[in-house]
Structure 1
Amino acid sequence: MEKELQKKMADYQRFGFILLAVSTFFYLGLVLPVEDKNFIQSITLGIASLTCLGFTALMYNVVRKCKVQLQEITK
């Protein structure tokens, strides 16, 4: 059970880090000036960035819950 929780925590931390990196690229696409970018594309990039940040927070919330479970098991 402990090893499963540790593996789960590591996976969710990786997912969170990857989503944070993707969110950064979306944000860079939003703030860097591009000649052909219109308002709809800017809104789409902003929403995509915020969505990835939301999922990142969700992943790290799951990691926090797994840590609490792991601490309860090891007591």
Structure 2
Amino acid sequence: MKNNAELIQKKIADYQRFGFILLAVSTFFYLGLVLPVEDKNFVQSITLGIASTTCLGFTALMYRVVRKCKTQLQELSE
């Protein structure tokens, strides 16, 4: 049981890292969308917006998995 708890804690740490990295990537995509550039056209703007939104969606998914793992860990400790 201790081994299972350690595995869940490692998963929590990994998913939190993945979420943070995806949030940082999403920020860079958003900055590319917002900052004015002369050569940027409509298709590039749409692509940056979709990429930013997709990364934010995956970030939310990662933190949802973290929350689920924390509840599993709490149930396991009881």
Tell me which interval the TM-score lies in, with the shorter structure as reference length: over 0.9
Counterpart of 1:19 in structure 2 is 22
How much has 1:43 moved relative to structure 2? 0.1
Counterpart of 1:28 in structure 2 is 31
**Unaligned runs of at least 5 residues, structure 2:** none
For 1:73 and 1:7, the matched residues in 2 are separated by 15
| SS of residue matched to 2:37 | coil
AA in 1 matched with 2:68:
K
How much has 1:10 moved relative to structure 2? 0.1
Question: What TM-score do you get using the length of structure 1 for normalisation?
Answer: 1.00
For 1:66 and 1:74, the matched residues in 2 are separated by 12
Counterpart of 1:39 in structure 2 is 42
How much has 1:70 moved relative to structure 2? 0.2
AA in 2 matched with 1:58:
L
Tell me whether 1:64 sits opposite 2:67 in the alignment. yes
For 2:69 and 2:44, the matched residues in 1 are separated by 37
| SS of residue matched to 1:37 | coil
**Segments of 4+ moved more than 4 angstroms:** none
For 1:41 and 1:53, the matched residues in 2 are separated by 18
Residues 18-64 of structure 1: CA deviation (Å, up to 9, x unaligned): 00000000000000000100000000000000000000000000000
Counting aligned pairs with the same residue, the percent is 83
| SS of residue matched to 1:34 | coil
Question: What TM-score do you get using the length of structure 2 for normalisation?
Answer: 0.96
